[in-house]
Structure 1
Amino acid sequence: MAAEEENPTTLINGREVPYDPEQMRKIAEHPCYSEKACHAFGRCHLPVAPKCNIQCNYCVRDYDCVNESRPGVTSRVLTPEEALYLVRRVVKEYPYVKVIGIAGPGEPLANKETFEALRLVHEEFPKLIMCISTNGLLLPESIEELDRYGVGNVTVTLNAVDPEIGEKIVSHVTYQGKTYHGREAADILLSQQLKGIEMAVAKKMFVKINTVYIPGINDDHIVEIAKRVSEMGAYTFNVIPLIPQYKFADITPPTPKEKREMQDACAPYIKQMRHCARCRSDAIGKLGQDVQSCLYRSEKTEE
């Protein structure tokens, strides 16, 4: 995968294929995929997806933690219709917002409301960049529908490419109506993640990989993840320091220096996202300049 933003390509069937101008826009105006874009453009996360189909050992989804800024948190869960109304307000009041994303507070692809929200927004605002963040379990089954609704940017949280390490991170996985634990859960999750990434790349979607840096669990493995996804054609890689909570509450998170060193170790293989703000599921605005509290507050006032 070429790392330069100016002339990126993707690997399809073992050969490099250039992106067209419309795809290039999905980098140039997306604050997560371009460090330059994060100073000029913003995103609007639609918190329409409360259910999740896996349980990670670092994840606590307290939806209404209004004073916390971390993934999995939102002030409220919206219906698809409320999400469309919010987008109308956002693009009118904050025209620099070019990206509409769904990142929770649960797993977007495990909630039918995600697809309805994507459909409604894409039909009314076809020029907005549509983005999804997923654990990847249902990505293969969802890829055609995501493509239909204009989703061109897909983030997959991939914390291991070795099931022996993966089973230390995931407590259980619910897939096709059955709940799996241990190695079986890790095997199913990894298989689906890799298949989904491959399918997204084949659709010429931009794939970003989020990897949670968990000292003592996957820290010696992260470079291997970077190598693997680079070979698959992922566009960028985001090392996210662990937020110690739930079963990993006693793990000391990596320091900023350790994070930079990990990014530097991965950089020879894939472009690094070094400006992640670990956004809430209802984040709106430029990275680090969120305005969602103003929007939700004014909405309550109008009521």
Structure 2
Amino acid sequence: MATSCDQLKKIQGHPCFGGNHHKNGRMHLAVAPRCNIKCGYCSRRHDCANESRPGVTSRLLTPAEAIAKVREVMASPVVGPIIKVIGIAGPGDPLANEETFETFRLVGEEFPHLIKCMSTNGLLLPDAIDRLHELDLHSLTVTLNTLDPAVGARIYGHISYHGTTYRGAEAAEILIANQLEGLRRAAGYGMTIKVNTVYIPGVNEEQIPLIGRKVKELGAFVMNIMPLIPQAEFAHIAPPSTETLDGVRAANEAIIGQFKHCRQCRADAVGLIGRDVSVGQSACVVPG
């Protein structure tokens, strides 16, 4: 486990955990196409070449292609010096894809100084946390939208877990239990943890402070309350206004630190937050 000074230094270099996002950048590697849950706010029928949102990429990469892309970016005299973090955030769920682990292994062997970061729905986190620790994962983001299975039944259409498909409150109960256990164990390994919560007006706003208290108790470092992007089953719901979102974040800041400059990045984002650069990808791909 890293010392507190080492952890603080890495956090300061991580633009998505409160570090200096004006000079420190990240590179997301889109190696994880498969997903194991169906979120009501997730759509896979968009022209992702013209979008900036989670779950889309211009091109899927194999682990070999991903490490080649890291070499290319790190060799760039313009982009290379600002990249501090290598992240895997989809376009599906990283833990549902063996390619995630192979990619982290390759990055660790060739670029051990880069922070390894991953974003997941957390369903398979208890199963995978030991492997992630062995791969020296530093930063972990878990998207946790409710602690109440009844609310979860409104957010998630189904989960696919250990070969079985679950629906309704049963599915949400399994997901929530695994998210919380995974967070607890990740904190035990000394990982820096961020919890993303999608604010869905009329669905989960009352859950937000409850989530903040629980994940703080389990060892989370920061919370990122993100506005709903209206699409799929939630296309009819208006996202929270900027003023409402700011108010919710301010109210929850007394519970846990708030990450406020998230831009809900693509699975192939490269560069500074809000100022991504092109790395030559093409042909829009969304997970199946």
TM-score range, shorter chain: over 0.9
RMSD: 1.5
Q: Which residue of 2 aligns with 1:28?
A: 12
Report if the CA contact (8 A) 2:2-2:190 is conserved: no
Deviations 1:73-112 (A, max 9, x none): 1001000000000111111212210100000000000001
Are residues 228 and 18 of structure 1, via their aligned partners in 2, closer, same or farther at CA, if it must alter by over 3 Å? farther
State how far apart, in whole Å, the 1-side matches of 2:4 and 2:225 are.
28
- Amino acid of the residue matched to residue 66 of structure 1? A
Deviations 1:94-153 (A, max 9, x none): 221010000000000000111111111111111100000000000111111111111110
Structure 1 portions without partners, runs of 5+? 1-16, 298-303
Worse-superposed segment, 204-213 or 217-226: 217-226
State how far apart, in whole Å, the 2-side matches of 1:41 and 1:263 are.
24
- Amino acid of the residue matched to residue 8 of structure 2? M
1:269-280 matched pairs, under 5 angstroms: 269-280=255-266
Q: Which residue of 2 aligns with 1:117?
A: 103
1:296 aligns to 2:281 (yes or no): yes
1:42-57 matched pairs, under 5 angstroms: 42-57=25-40
Structure 2 SS opposite 1:105: coil
Deviations 1:170-226 (A, max 9, x none): 000000000000011001000100000000000010010000000000012211111
1:153-164 matched pairs, under 5 angstroms: 153-164=139-150
| TM-score w.r.t. length of structure 1 | 0.89
1:68 aligns to 2:51 (yes or no): yes
Q: Which residue of 1 aligns with 2:185?
A: 199
State how far apart, in whole Å, the 2-side matches of 1:21 and 1:61 are.
41
The equivalent position to 1:87 in structure 2, one of 70, 73, 84, is: 70
Report if the CA contact (8 A) 1:63-1:75 is conserved: no
1:157-236 matched pairs, under 5 angstroms: 157-236=143-222
Deviations 1:237-272 (A, max 9, x none): 000000010101101110000100110111001000
- Amino acid of the residue matched to residue 78 of structure 1? L
Where relative contact order (Cα < 8 A, 6+ residues apart) is larger, the structure is 2
Q: Which residue of 2 aligns with 1:77?
A: 60
Report if the CA contact (8 A) 2:59-2:281 is conserved: no
Report if the CA contact (8 A) 1:26-1:153 is conserved: no
The equivalent position to 1:147 in structure 2, one of 127, 130, 133, is: 133
State how far apart, in whole Å, the 2-side matches of 1:119 and 1:231 are.
31
State how far apart, in whole Å, the 2-side matches of 1:269 and 1:171 are.
30
- Amino acid of the residue matched to residue 86 of structure 2? I
**1:20 CA displacement:** 2.4
Q: Which residue of 2 aligns with 1:127?
A: 113
State how far apart, in whole Å, the 2-side matches of 1:193 and 1:161 are.
10
State how far apart, in whole Å, the 2-side matches of 1:91 and 1:101 are.
14
Report if the CA contact (8 A) 1:63-1:105 is conserved: no
**1:18 CA displacement:** 9.6
- Amino acid of the residue matched to residue 250 of structure 1? H
| TM-score w.r.t. length of structure 2 | 0.94
- Amino acid of the residue matched to residue 35 of structure 2? C
1:249 aligns to 2:235 (yes or no): yes
- Amino acid of the residue matched to residue 48 of structure 2? C
Are residues 22 and 61 of structure 1, via their aligned partners in 2, closer, same or farther at CA, if it must alter by over 3 Å? farther
Structure 2 SS opposite 1:268: coil
State how far apart, in whole Å, the 2-side matches of 1:197 and 1:227 are.
13
State how far apart, in whole Å, the 2-side matches of 1:138 and 1:222 are.
23
Are residues 63 and 90 of structure 1, via their aligned partners in 2, closer, same or farther at CA, if it must alter by over 3 Å? farther
Corresponding residue pairs, total: 279
1:102 aligns to 2:88 (yes or no): yes
